[in-house]
Structure 1
Amino acid sequence: MAKGRDCAYDSELTESIQMAKEAHVSTPRRMTLKDLARELGVSTATISNAFNRPDQLSPALRERILGEAKRLGYRGPDAKARSLRTGRSRIIAVVLAESLTYSINDAVASELLSGIAEVLDAHGHTLLLLSARQMRSELPGAASMADGYIVYGLMPSQDLLEPLPPQSPLVAVDFDVEGRPSIHVDDEPACYAIARHALSRRARRPAIINLRLTAEPCNGPIGADRRLLSADQTITRSRLSGFYRALAEAGHDPAGVPMWNVEENTFEVCAPVLEALLDLPEDERPDLLLCMSDRIALTALTLAERRGLRVPEDLRLTGFDGIAEGQYRAPRLTTVRQDSVEKGRMAARMILGLIEPRSHTLTTDLWLGDSCP
C-alpha cells in the first residue's frame, strides 16, 4: 500500500514540475534596452536618449525608436533603477501656492505650467505638481525624490516650503526665497505705466482693487486697521507702489484713494466685492478702477454691464496679465501683458542647469484697449 501511495505522489510531483516548466516557457521575458538596441541595430545610448534626452536625436529617429519600442513591448528604462544608478530621478516638482484645481483653471498659472512642461518634455523630465497648501508636514511619495523644485504664486509664508529638501535646486517665480534665484516681471514700472495712462484723463474717484494684499483674510474694503503683507511676501505691494507713484504725479493723495481686497482670482470671489462697490450711490461710485488682474477687471466689466453702466463712458478700468479672454470680448481690456509662458520656460531651463541660476526680471507690454482708451 505504501508503495502505491509513493507512486501516486511521484506522479503528482512530476505533473506539477511539468506544469511549472510550461508556465515558465509561456511567460515571455521582459524586453530590455539591450534587446531593443540589438533589434533596431542602434546603440543602447541611442535608445536611452530617445526616452531621456530627446533633444539629442532627430525627431524622425526618436519617433521610429518609440514606435518600435511600443510594438515590441519595451516600456522604457526602469525609473527606480536609473534613480539608484545615477542619483537622479528626472522629476521636477512645481510647488503651487494655490490648490491644484485653482492653478489649472487659472489662465496665468496654466500658461506658466505650459512653459515649464514644454522645456521638461524636450529634455526627458517628468513634471510633478504639488500644492503648498497640502504640504504641511512632509513631501508625498516621489516628490521627495525630485531633482529640483519650482515654487510659484502669492506665497503668504515661507513656512510652506520647510518640507522641501534644503540642498535641492530651487527657483522661485513671483516669489522670493532667500539665497535662491527668482523670476519676476517688472510689476512696479508696469503698474506705474498703466496707471499713468489711465490718469492722463481726469479721474474724480479712482480706486484700486488688490489681489491678496492683507495679512489676514479680507474680501472687501481695506480699512486703516488692516495689516498689509510686506513687499517680500507678495508682488501685490510692488504693483501698488506703481499705482501710488502715478496717482501722486496726477495730483491725488494715494493714502486717500480707497482700496478693496480680493482673496482669490476667480469670478465667484471677486463678484461680491465688486457688486458692493458698483452699487454705491453715483456720487460715491469710482469712475476709474485700477485692477491688479485681468480676472478682477473682467468681473467688474461684466457686473457693470449688468447694471447698465457704460464702459468707458461711466466707468474706466484696467487689468494686469493680458489673458486671451480680455482681448477677445468687447470692450477690449486695457491691460499689462506679461509673458507667463516664457517665465515658465526660463524657470525650467534654470532648474535643469541649461542657463545660469540667477534672478531675472522680464519686461511687460502695455496693451491699450477700449475699457480705458
Structure 2
Amino acid sequence: MSSPSRMTLKELAAELGVSTASVSNAFNRPDQLSPKLRERILSEAKRLGYRGPDAKARSLRTGRSRIIAVVLAESLTYSLNDAVASELLSGVAEVLDAHGHTLLLLSGRQDASQVPGSSSIADGYIVYGLMPSLMMLDELPQLGQRQLVAVDFDLEGYPAVHIDNEPASYAIASHALRTSARRPGVINLRLTKHPCNARISPDQELLPADRTITRSRLVGFHRAFAEHGIDPASVPMWNVEENTFEVCAPVIETILDLPDDERPDLLLCMSDRIALTVLTLAEQRGLRIPDDLRLTGFDGIAEGQYRSPRLTTVRQDSVEKGRIAARMILGLAPREDRQLPTELILGETCP
C-alpha cells in the first residue's frame, strides 16, 4: 500500500483560502503576519498534516536555506553550560526566531568529517571565540554568497563584534590598585600559544591580540600597573586552559597554598568563573575576602552578583552581542566591525 502524498504549500493555501505567501510567511517570516492569522495557519497545517516548506527544495529553488550556523570554539556541552556563551546564543536565537531562520550549532573542536551535512547549505556563519584550530573553518563550504561574522576574535576579511576589552580591563585594574597592592597577580584564560594550566614562565609564547581577547585584557591590566608604578613584568601570571571549576581549581590551589608572604593579596581574573573558583577555594582555606585577598572578575554573570561577597567585575552584554551578530548575518545591520561598551560593577570582593 503506497503512502499518501505529502500535502504541498499550494494545496494548503487553497484549503485555507489564503495566499501561498501567507502560508510561507507563517513558517518562515512570522513578523509579516498578524499573530491571529499565523496561529490559524499553523494549527490548520498541523491538523491537515502539512509539516512546513521543504527546506531542501526551497534551498535548491531560491539558493537560500534560512539556516544560520554558529561555530563555537568549545564543545557544545561546554558552551550550553557556560553563562556567557549561552547568553550570546540566546541573543542569536532571538533574532533568528523573529525572522524565520533556523539555528545550527557546530563545535570548533569537531573534526571536519563530523560536521553535519546541513552546514553546507547554511546561509551564513557566526564564529564565536578562540578556535582551537582554524582547520575547521577552512573545511567549511566556500562562502561565496554566504556571510560570516566573527565574535570575540578577528578573522581577516570579515566583520567582528567585540566589547571594549582593553579599556574595561584598565578601568577595573585601576580601581583595584587605588588600594595599595603589595603582591598583585593575574589569572589569564587561554593566553599561551601552547597549552599551559599553570604559572606562565618567561619563555612561554603568548597568543597575539587578534587571536584572543585575553591579550587585549592583559594590555589594559599592564597599563594600569605602569600608571601605579608597578613593573608589569614583575607581576606573576597564571594561565587556565578552560573556563570551568574543574580546570581552574588545580591552578588556583597552587596560588592560594603559597606561603603568606608570597601569596598574592590582589588577583585580577580574566573571567567571573575563574574569580568565583578563587572565592570558593579561598573561603575553604579560611582566607577573608577582601581583607586577606582582594579579587576581581570579568563578564558580570548572574552567579557572581547573587552570592556573598558579590564580585567586583566588568559586565558585558553577551545577549546584545549575539543579537548584533545575527542582524549582520541577516542583512538587518551594516556588516562592519562593532565594539560594545561595558559596565564596571563594584562589589564586595574588591570595594
Is 1:183 aligned with 2:171? no
Contact 2:169 2:220 in 1 (8 A): yes
Is 1:33 aligned with 2:33? no
Contact 1:139 1:163 in 2 (8 A): no
Secondary structure in structure 1 of the residue aligned to 2:239: strand
Is 1:76 aligned with 2:35? no
Q: For residues 179 and 150 of structure 2, what CA distance do their matches in structure 1 show? A: 38
Secondary structure in structure 1 of the residue aligned to 2:139: coil
What do the CA deviations read for 1:315-360 (whole angstroms, capped 9, x no partner)? 1100000001001000001100000000001101101111110010
Contact 1:157 1:233 in 2 (8 A): no
The sequence identity of aligned pairs, in percent, is 77
Alignment match, 2:198: 220
What do the CA deviations read for 1:240-289 (whole angstroms, capped 9, x no partner)? 00000011111111000000000000000000000110010111000100
**Which letter does structure 2 place at the counterpart of 1:210?**
N
Q: For residues 310 and 60 of structure 1, what CA distance do their matches in structure 2 show? A: 58
Is 1:280 aligned with 2:258? yes
Q: For residues 106 and 254 of structure 1, what CA distance do their matches in structure 2 show? A: 31
Is 1:128 aligned with 2:104? yes
Contact 2:70 2:128 in 1 (8 A): yes
Is 1:119 aligned with 2:92? no
The farther-off stretch of 102-111 and 149-158 is 149-158
Contact 1:209 1:260 in 2 (8 A): yes
Alignment match, 1:65: 41
- Please list every run of 5 or more consecutive structure 2 residues that lacks an aligned counterpart in the other structure: none
Contact 1:326 1:332 in 2 (8 A): yes
Aligned residues: 349
Q: Which of 77, 95, 103 is matched with 2:79 structurally?
A: 103
Q: Which of 291, 303, 315 is matched with 2:269 structurally?
A: 291
Q: Which of 314, 332, 339 is matched with 1:354 structurally?
A: 332
Give matches, 1:1-373, under 5 Å: 23=1, 28-136=4-112, 139-164=115-140, 165-167=142-144, 168-373=146-351
Q: For residues 169 and 114 of structure 1, what CA distance do their matches in structure 2 show? A: 20
Secondary structure in structure 2 of the residue aligned to 1:162: helix
Q: For residues 15 and 28 of structure 2, what CA distance do their matches in structure 1 show? A: 19
Q: For residues 189 and 227 of structure 2, what CA distance do their matches in structure 1 show? A: 24
Q: CA deviation at 1:156?
A: 4.4
The farther-off stretch of 182-191 and 149-158 is 149-158
**Which letter does structure 2 place at the counterpart of 1:355?**
A
Contact 1:331 1:369 in 2 (8 A): yes
**Which letter does structure 2 place at the counterpart of 1:158?**
L
The farther-off stretch of 50-59 and 187-196 is 50-59
Task: State the TM-score, normalizing by the size of structure 2.
Answer: 0.97
Contact 1:138 1:163 in 2 (8 A): no
Q: Which of these two proteins has the greater Rg computed from alpha carbons?
A: 1
Q: CA deviation at 1:159?
A: 3.4
Contact 1:137 1:163 in 2 (8 A): no
Task: State the TM-score, normalizing by the size of structure 1.
Answer: 0.91
Contact 1:92 1:146 in 2 (8 A): yes
Secondary structure in structure 2 of the residue aligned to 1:277: helix
Q: CA deviation at 1:61?
A: 1.6
Q: For residues 128 and 184 of structure 1, what CA distance do their matches in structure 2 show? A: 22
Secondary structure in structure 1 of the residue aligned to 2:109: helix
Contact 2:108 2:132 in 1 (8 A): no
Contact 2:106 2:115 in 1 (8 A): no
Q: CA deviation at 1:138?
A: 7.8
Contact 1:319 1:333 in 2 (8 A): yes
Q: For residues 120 and 132 of structure 1, what CA distance do their matches in structure 2 show? A: 21
**Which letter does structure 1 place at the counterpart of 2:43?**
G
Contact 1:288 1:315 in 2 (8 A): yes
Q: For residues 294 and 326 of structure 2, what CA distance do their matches in structure 1 show? A: 38
Secondary structure in structure 2 of the residue aligned to 1:265: coil
What do the CA deviations read for 1:61-100 (whole angstroms, capped 9, x no partner)? 2122111111111111111111110011111111111111
What is the aligned-residue RMSD (CA, Å)? 1.3
Contact 1:312 1:371 in 2 (8 A): yes
Secondary structure in structure 2 of the residue aligned to 1:310: coil
Q: CA deviation at 1:132?
A: 1.3
